[in-house]
Every structure is written in C-alpha cells, then in structure tokens.
C-alpha cells in the first residue's frame, strides 16, 4: 500500500477509450507515466473526471488494476462510490487488494436517504476494509452537502474529506471540528483559496493537464508570494473557464490529446466536441504553454 501524500497534488485521472468505446488500458498506463513525469504527486481513479459512474464494476476494477501496475510508489486513491453499499464494499475491498492508499466515496444518491442512512453507508464500507475512507463531498452533483455536524466524520476510519464545493466556510468549519483529517480541495478554480482556508492537498481535473501550474501556485503560497500565486490562479482559471464553457470533461480529454496522448471521447450521454469548441480550447491551452 502506498502511503497517502497529505500535501499532494493528485490527478483526477481521466479514462481513455479506443475507437470502439472500450477502455484503452495501454493509453491509461501511458497517461499515468506521462503525468508522473510532469510532477503529479498522486492519482484519484474512477471519480467524476474518470467517468466512474458511467463504467461497470468490471471496468472500474480493471482500471484500478492497471493504474496499480503503473504508479510505482506514487499514492493512489480509488473512488468506489455507487448507488449501493454492497457494490461500494466490493469495489473498496478490491481497491485495498490492489494497494490503494485509500478509497473515496460520494454519498449514496437518487433516493432521498436520511443522514443516518448516509452515515451507515460510509461506516458499513469502512468497517469492511483496513485502509482509510475519504468522504467525497460534491453537493453540486449529488444534492447532498456534508458539514461538520455530520458526526460520522469523527470516526477514525474516515481519514479525510474531498471538498468539491465553493463553500469554503464549511471547509474551514470542518477543519476546525476535525483537525486530524486530511482535507483535499476538489475545485481547481479555488485551489489557492482552499489553501488559505486550511486544505493541504488537492484532487483536480486540470492536474491532468498542467500539474506544473498548480505546483507553482502551491510554492508561491508556501513562500508568502501571494501576488504571484494569485496571478497563476488567474491563469489557471482562464483555462478552467474555457473548459467549463465547452463541456469540461470532453474538453479536458482534448487538452491531453493536444499533448500527444490518446483519450477518445467521453461516454454518452456526453456529446463530442465540435470544431469551434476545439479551437477555443487550443487557444486557451496556448496561454499556459510555459506550464505544460
């Protein structure tokens, strides 16, 4: 098992497909190797960026197995969130067997579960494994906003929070309430702000594309160079604005294609990019060429 990097910059790893829409495992391993060479300090598999909820159980397990073969001693976290506790448990046990540093889960969605049911979901999975659980708080996608008042977070098997929310007040409150946990920023566009709020690590889509830029932001922050850090965050946000306006996950894959990697399209119902969108992305990527 690779030790969790509590201050790391983790790539929310994209999932490459071949021309038939099947996972391209050769391209996946090449992506991991490429990103490591660019300074990525950890990987997060099968999350939102990796289209985890569009993959079946066997595909998710195969991704983890292939990533585990390629990462070496770089830590990797596996997102095992699903609609059912049973499936999340299976995926989590498998991730542990593959050497994952930790697993992470969105809360169970679709049905309007009570907070007690959500807590039981996390703890029932946590009790079946010997590695830590990172709660994936992403209310924009799940409709569920976890806060410091969710007492299950105090459980020692819950080792961290992936806070994918612009509500930095709630992040600061959770850090104050549970200071021993590791806090991961989840929105790249507020990376610098999240560091100021107390997050120590980040897991992001643009880490695939330009890890050197996020590393530079962190370095400036740690050295008290706030003006320089903010300038770099502005640069990152210009890219993010383009990605979001053109459909963020297909756009992120195109950014990787422009750097020589095979990605393919995202799975339906995601739509392919049109030529106008591609031109916008190309122009935006050119502006950060010094950080590629």
pLDDT digits (tens, 9 = 90+) for 157-194: 999 999 999 999 999 999 999 999 999 999 999 999 99
DSSP annotation of 73 reads: T
Q: How far, in Å, CA of 55 to CA of 128, rounded?
A: 23
Q: Is the pLDDT of residue 244 over 90?
A: yes
Neighbours of 185 (CB within 10 A): 29
10, 17, 122, 136: the catalytic one is: 136
Q: Is the pLDDT of residue 89 over 80?
A: yes
162 is annotated as an active-site residue: yes
Q: What is the pLDDT of residue 32?
A: 98
Q: What is the pLDDT of residue 2?
A: 77
162, 181, 232, 253: the catalytic one is: 162
Q: Is the pLDDT of residue 1 over 80?
A: no
- Burial pattern 230-261, b for ≥16 Cβ within 10 A else e, equals eebbebbbebbebbeebbbbbbbbbbbebbeb
136 is annotated as an active-site residue: yes
Is the peptide bond between 256 and the residue preceding it cis, with omega within 30 degrees of 0?
no
Q: Is 249 helix (H, G, I), strand (E, B) or coil?
A: helix
Burial class of residue 87 (count of CB atoms within 10 Å of its CB; 0-12, 13-18, 19+): middle
Q: Is 40 helix (H, G, I), strand (E, B) or coil?
A: coil
pLDDT digits (tens, 9 = 90+) for 58-80: 999 999 999 999 999 999 999 99
């Amino acid at each position: 098992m690779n030790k969790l990097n509590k201050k790391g910059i983790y790539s929310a790893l994209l999932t490459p497909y071949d021309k038939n829409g099947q996972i391209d495992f050769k391209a996946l391993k090449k992506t991991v190797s490429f990103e490591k060479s660019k300074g990525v300090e950890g990987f997060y598999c099968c999350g939102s960026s990796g289209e985890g909820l569009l993959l079946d159980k066997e595909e998710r397990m195969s991704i983890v197995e292939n990533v585990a073969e390629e990462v070496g001693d770089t830590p990797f976290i596996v997102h095992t969130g699903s609609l059912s506790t049973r499936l999340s448990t299976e995926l989590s046990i498998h991730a542990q067997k593959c050497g994952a540093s930790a697993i992470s889960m969105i809360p169970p969605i679709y049905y309007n579960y009570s907070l007690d049911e959500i807590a039981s979901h996390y703890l029932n999975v946590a009790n079946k494994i010997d590695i830590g659980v990172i709660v994936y708080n992403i209310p924009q996608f799940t409709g569920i906003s976890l806060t410091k008042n969710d007492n299950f977070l105090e459980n020692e098997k819950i080792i961290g929070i992936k806070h994918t929310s612009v509500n930095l007040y709630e992040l600061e409150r959770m850090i104050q309430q549970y200071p021993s946990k590791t806090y991961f920023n989840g929105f790249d566009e507020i990376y610098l702000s999240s560091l100021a709020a107390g997050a120590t690590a980040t897991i992001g889509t643009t880490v695939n594309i330009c890890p050197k830029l996020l590393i530079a932001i962190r370095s400036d922050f740690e050295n008290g160079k706030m003006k320089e850090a903010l300038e770099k965050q502005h640069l990152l946000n210009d890219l993010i604005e383009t990605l979001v306006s053109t459909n963020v996950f297909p756009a992120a894959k195109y950014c990787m294609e422009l750097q020589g990697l095979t990605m393919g399209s995202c799975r339906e119902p995601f739509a392919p990019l049109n030529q106008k969108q591609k031109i916008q992305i190309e122009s935006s990527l050119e502006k950060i060429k010094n950080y590629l």
